[in-house]
Amino acid sequence: SQQGEEDPQALSIQEGENATMNCSYKTSINNLQWYRQNSGRGLVHLILIRSNEREKHSGRLRVTLDTSKKSSSLLITASRAADTASYFCATGSNYGQNIVFGPGTRLSVLP
């Protein structure tokens, strides 16, 4: 069963706007990761946030983690057409065990 669930499933915005995607999970985690996947391409790791962190920034990306609500959000600021992709969250538990991905959010940034 999948632990991570992204919301919304699809998001369409204009270039320059901010995009926010959410991820919810069910059990305890050690870390949560966000990935991007362009159509027909492999996954690209974006950012990892550990369970003892609440917020993390990387360039135009801002990730928050609320372990009490078992949820995370990914904010992309000043979006660009090149940000069009599917975004996945993945939860990691103990080393060597399942890393579970959600179904993803399809982001379309219109020029």
Nearest to 34 by CA among 11, 4, 54: 4
The CA radius of gyration of the chain, in Å to the nearest whole number, is 13
Give min distance, CB of 4 to another protein, in A: 7
User: What is the x/- site pattern for another protein, positions 70-109, by CB under 8 A?
Assistant: ------------------x-x-xxxxxxxxxxxxx-----
Give min distance, CB of 75 to another protein, in A: 20
Across 25-70, the runs of DSSP E, i.e. the strands, are 31-37, 43-50, 55-58, 61-66
**How many Cβ atoms sit within 10 Å of the Cβ of residue 96?**
6
Give min distance, CB of 98 to another protein, in A: 5
Single-letter code of the amino acid located at 6 = E
Residues 5-64 that bind another protein (CB under 8 A): 30-31, 33, 35, 41-45, 48, 50
Separation of alpha carbons 44 and 54, rounded Å: 22
Contacts with another protein by CB under 8 A: the residue count is 29
In the complex, which residues of this chain contact another protein (CB under 8 A)? 1-2, 4, 30-31, 33, 35, 41-45, 48, 50, 88, 90, 92-104
